[in-house]
Each structure stands twice: as structure tokens, then as C-alpha cells.
Amino acid sequence: MRRSFVNADFVIAVAFTVFAVWVYIVARGFPVPSWATVGAGFVPRILAVLLIILSASLVLQTVLAKKAVEKARKTDADADTLSEKLNVSLEEAERLQRSEQKPWFFTPVLFGVFVLYYLSLPYLGYFLTKILGTTVLIVLIGTSDKAALRGLVYKGFAIGVGLSVFVYILFQRFMYIRLPRGVVVRWLIGFFS
């Protein structure tokens, strides 16, 4: 079971590295205004470099975990000693680990949320997309407990609103970079004015 999990971590890390390199290359093409020293591509390039560093650390962690799993398989005595120390049977520990793992379709669904976020940005605008996307991501990544679902929705909504306000202040007020309003927001502004 752990072997497929390690392989999934490696594949995800490589996919995010490729994505971050693509973002970095695209962001280099963003124009820099004549009056500014930093253009619109500055923050995406920093985030891309950060994602590359985090992906590289995940690759390293995956390689080290794979070596540790292989070493543990060679010596069953380590597993017996560990289960004795924890006072838990090995079967019970594996059952607990399986109950905490997400289903196989979790990663494609998560990737689909990011794609929908990107595609809905021109239509819904930054603020609505950020709030909805953050809420959906927090609910997906959060617990599968039905009782905690309402709290996760509220937390996701609050974090989405907070991030939207923070990014608005940072980009539009300090850096004078416009965030996309979207067709829906422009229609609402025109409807109510």
C-alpha cells in the first residue's frame, strides 16, 4: 500500500515541477511598465520558484521514504518491535492508515478544481473565483467527517474572503496591478449602477 503512495507522491511532485516551470516561462513574457521596476510577472515567478523548491523537497522525501520502506521490509523485526512499542497490531495500524488516505480519484478531482479555477477566472472575476475555489479546496482537502463539513465550508469561505482582500490590497492598491473583474461582476456593476 505504501509503495503506491510513494509513487503517487513522486508523480505529483514531477507534475507540479513541470507546471511551475511552465508558469515561470509564461510569466517571463509579461510586460514591465516603464514606470515600474517590477511587472505583473514578478509574483508568479516567485511562486513558481517556491513550487519548484517544494516539489524538489517532495521528491527527496519520497526517495527517502522509499528507502525506509525497503529497509523495513527487509527486517520484519523492526515492524514487530514498533507494533509492540505502540501496543497496536500491525493490521490495526494499516487499517488506520487506509482510513486516513483519500480515494484514488482525489488527485484528478483536485487538479480539475484548479483547471476550473483557471477557466472561470475571466467569467467570474478574481474575487468570486478565489472565494469559491478556496472554499472547494478546503472542503476537499479537509476531513471526510460529515459533522465537520459545515465548519469547513465556513472556514473556506472566510479564508477565501480574507485572501481576496489581502491580494486586492497588495496588487491593486500598492502595486497598481488590476485583477480580473470578470463578466459576471461587470454585469452586476452595470445592473446596479
Rounded-to-integer distance, Cα 158 and Cα 135, Å = 8
Q: Model pTM?
A: 0.52
Q: Are 50 and 56 in contact (CB under 8 A)?
A: no
* Tens digits of residue pLDDT in 177-191: 888 888 887 787 777
Q: How many C-beta atoms lie closer than 10 Å to residue 150's C-beta?
A: 10
Question: What's the one-letter identity of residue 105?
Answer: F
Rounded-to-integer distance, Cα 112 and Cα 46, Å = 24
pLDDT at 40: 76
* Tens digits of residue pLDDT in 143-161: 666 777 788 888 889 999 9
Looking at the predicted structure, is the pLDDT value of residue 85 above 60? no
Domain ranges of the chain: 1-101, 102-193
Three-point CA angle 97, 99, 103, nearest 5°: 105
What lies within 8 Å, CB to CB, of 31 at 6+ separation is: 39, 40
Q: 21-60 burial by CB neighbour count: b if 16+ within 10 A, else e?
A: eebbeebeeeeeeeeeeebbbbbbbeebeebbeebeebbe
